[in-house]
Structure 1
Amino acid sequence: MQTYTQVRVELEVSNRPVDIQNEDVDFVIRARAQMDYPQHFVPVVLGRMKLCLVAHPSWASALQPNLRETLEHVPTIAWKTSGALPSWQLIAQDGMPVDVQIRPRLMVNDLTTLRDAALQGIGIAMIPEVYVREDVDQGRLMDIALDLKPPTSIIHAVHLGRRGMRPAVRHLLDWLKEVTQHLRNTQ
């Protein structure tokens, strides 16, 4: 915005599903393990984000040999989704996806609250590793590394194609790609 001072931006930060075909949005930024969009949607990969399962160290004695058994003894804290039964999409040791139904003790739609609940010992949470790396390093949280692992989320923008796209929107998408590429190259 500092470079293009005449550009006006309206930014909505939300966890709700956005209908980019029928709502007045130019593009959305999402984090998903899969990009399974209709053919006329155009996803633009911006980066990847590792997820992890974490819990307060007070749950260490309740950990079992595998995650399903552990979840019988340790409550979950889940990201609130619309409609569907809560579940975690995880990856088995053979690389195959596994859908694990959970019964969350707490459901939230805010990463800070998710992290704080895990820090308070409410239960196991699946959260982006970048949000809890320091907590795990300092021993405030444990990384729960069992038989099932969280997937890596693909951070991406989704739009309906460049035809008819305003130049300012095209520049913003190009800038996002450049910045995220630069960040990946410096890590």
Structure 2
Amino acid sequence: MPARRWWRAWGSRRRPSELSEWPGLSLGAGKHQHKWQLTGPQGARAEVYFTPRMVTTDMLALREAAIAGIGIVQLPLLMVRDRLAAGELVVVLDEWQPCREVIHAVFASRRGLLPSVRALVDFLTEEYQRMEED
């Protein structure tokens, strides 16, 4: 997702392979290959490798960098829904979606689970289920 003003300047793209031509913003650390994995029409899959303009472990920083026009980013809808609605960000490829990510919550036992941790796990579960329904 890029900033709307950036989108106008760079133009639209139709295929995932064209995304590597744009400056990307990446979540990560260390020296690994940066790629976006996408699922498209009729279950088609694509991997887009790119050289990032910015790499960080902070998703909020990536979102703000995209809004500032530094590049395009792939983030969870939960983090960008309000910015999309406000017109600050735009979706690049409507027919292509990020591949589903699996999130695991690991803890020693349910007996020793703090109520605050249980509440967080329940909240995240509900939010991700709601996102799936949208």
Give the SS at the match of 1:167: coil
Report whether the alignment pairs 1:63 with 2:7: no
Give the SS at the match of 2:48: strand
Aligned to 2:105: 157
Cα distance, 1:81–1:148 mapped onto 2, change above 3 Å: farther
Deviations 1:71-97 (A, max 9, x none): 31x211111244421111221323244
Instruction: Identify unmatched segments of 5+ residues in structure 1.
Output: 1-53
Give the SS at the match of 2:98: coil
Once residues 180 and 68 of structure 1 are traced to their aligned partners in structure 2, the CA distance between those partners, rounded to angstroms, is 32
- Structure 2 length as normaliser, TM-score? 0.74
Structure 1 range deviating more: 173-182 or 134-143:
173-182
Distance apart, 1:179 and its partner CA? 4.5
- Structure 1 length as normaliser, TM-score? 0.56
Once residues 102 and 45 of structure 2 are traced to their aligned partners in structure 1, the CA distance between those partners, rounded to angstroms, is 15
Match of 1:167 among 88, 105, 111: 111
Aligned to 1:134: 82
Once residues 138 and 166 of structure 1 are traced to their aligned partners in structure 2, the CA distance between those partners, rounded to angstroms, is 41
Instruction: Identify unmatched segments of 5+ residues in structure 2.
Output: none
The count of residues paired between Structure 1 and Structure 2 equals 128
Deviations 1:33-57 (A, max 9, x none): xxxxxxxxxxxxxxxxxxxxx1011
- Compare the two structures and name the one with the higher strand fraction: 1
**TM superposition outliers: structure 1 runs of 4+ over 6 Å:** 170-173
The structure, 1 or 2, with the larger RCO (C-alpha pairs under 8 Å, 6+ apart) is 1
Once residues 83 and 68 of structure 2 are traced to their aligned partners in structure 1, the CA distance between those partners, rounded to angstroms, is 12
